[in-house]
Structure 1
Amino acid sequence: MTPKSCDTFVVLPPLTKHGVVFGKNSDRPQGEVQEVVYYPVSESADPVKCTYIEVEAAGPTRAVILSKPSWMWGAEMGANECGVVIGNEAIHTNDNEGDHDPTIKRLLGMDLVRYVFHF
């Protein structure tokens, strides 16, 4: 069966005894390796090598823990040291407002998720 969507949920107090519960499933292909990784704070101002393109760093990075496909830079979901939690959601588009050129390498939605965590 081909995955068609991903679902994200949050449970807030008073429905939780302590804190917040965040959950997410993934619509990634069956058999694709998902890794859980930790990246500490970095002071580097070097450009960031995302999945397909490089972008400028926005300053020192925050520490993050991520769940991500092993082959890409971006993240399916994660949390940073400030308590920000994000889950990627698929957006299906035909690029009907863009340049219609699928050969141009761009940032992925999951790259944006990870970039937000770091900066």
Structure 2
Amino acid sequence: MEPCSCDTFVALPPATVGNRVIFGKNSDRLFDEVQEVIYCPAAVHNDLGKRFKCTYIEVDQVPETYAVVLSRPAWLWGAEMGANEHGVCIGNEAVWGREDISKEEALLGMDLVRLGLERADTAEKALDVIVDLLEKYGQGGNCAEGEEFSYYNSFLIADRNEAWILETSGKYWAAERVQAFHNNQDCPGASRREELR
């Protein structure tokens, strides 16, 4: 079996030298899919009630969004990972469970990464933003360019003081605060995941 992995990891003080927070992610997306690193400045949105389009659906705009740096597949609105001006970092991985994965277009996990970064100045607030949006709009739709591939999402969310794991399936979710360090990992396809264990 070829190695495959999509990992996000975080290490927090006191597990790090110099009381630093270390956050990183690698991706197992298709080799020919263009990945962009983009910067989106902070913005004030005066036209409350206006909606804007994510990858597939429109969502309500908020009064203010924070500056973000994102790594994203060029074909979609969201991001696989990123950081904002307040030091919040988020990465996501695919997860599979017992529930059927929705092919109906809704928010992608990558949309939720970007929305969490744009709307939250702490890791815990980003978790709340993602959960609220998940419950309001749901998640679903094709997650790949040029082929059918859908999944639910796991998120690792960190700031300078703490980190959270957020696991989702449809509109269901569970969260746990990270103690010292954590690694989220996936490998496409449930059978391949089982082979790795």
Q: Return the TM-score normalized by structure 1.
A: 0.82
Q: Partner amino acid for 1:107?
A: L
- Tell me by how many angstroms 1:52 deviates: 0.7
How many residues are paired up? 115
Higher strand share: 2
Output the CA distance in 2 between the equivalents of 1:30 and 1:8. 19
Worse-superposed segment, 59-68 or 7-16: 7-16
Alignment partner of 2:84 out of 80, 84, 90: 80
Change (3 A) 1:29 1:3: farther
Query: Cα deviations across residues 14-69 of structure 1 (Å, max 9, x unaligned)?
Result: 42336222111112111111111110011124422100111001221001001100
The secondary structure found in structure 2 opposite 1:7 is strand
Q: State the distance in 2 between where 1:13 and 1:64 align.
A: 24
In the aligned structure 2, how far is the partner of 1:22 from the partner of 1:117? Answer: 15
* Partner residue, 2:160: none
- 2:117, 2:67 → 1: CA distance? 8
Give TM-score scaled by structure 2 length.
0.52
> Which whole-Å CA distance do the structure 1 matches of 2:98 and 2:31 have between them?
24
Residues in 1 aligned to 2:34 and 2:60: alpha-carbon distance in whole angstroms:
28
* Distance 1:35-1:58 versus aligned 2 partners, 3 A rule: same
Amino acid at match of 1:33: V
Runs of 4+ in 1 over 3 A off after TM superposition: 1-5, 93-96
1:47-58 to structure 2, matched below 5 A, reads: 47-58=51-62
Please show how residues 1-119 of structure 1 align to structure 2 within 5 Å: 4-14=4-14, 15-17=16-18, 19-44=20-45, 45=47, 46-92=50-96, 95-96=99-100, 102=103, 104-119=104-119
Is residue 3–residue 27 contact of structure 1 (8 Å, CA) maintained in 2? Answer: no
Q: Is the 8 A contact 2:12 2:19 kept in 1?
A: no
**1:52-93 per-position Cα deviation (integer Å, ceiling 9, x unaligned):** 111001221001001100110011001111111110111235
Alignment gaps of 5+ in structure 2: 120-197
Gaps of 5+ in 1: none
CA distance in 2, matches of 1:3, 1:108: 25
Tell me if structure 1 keeps the 8 A contact 2:88–2:117: yes
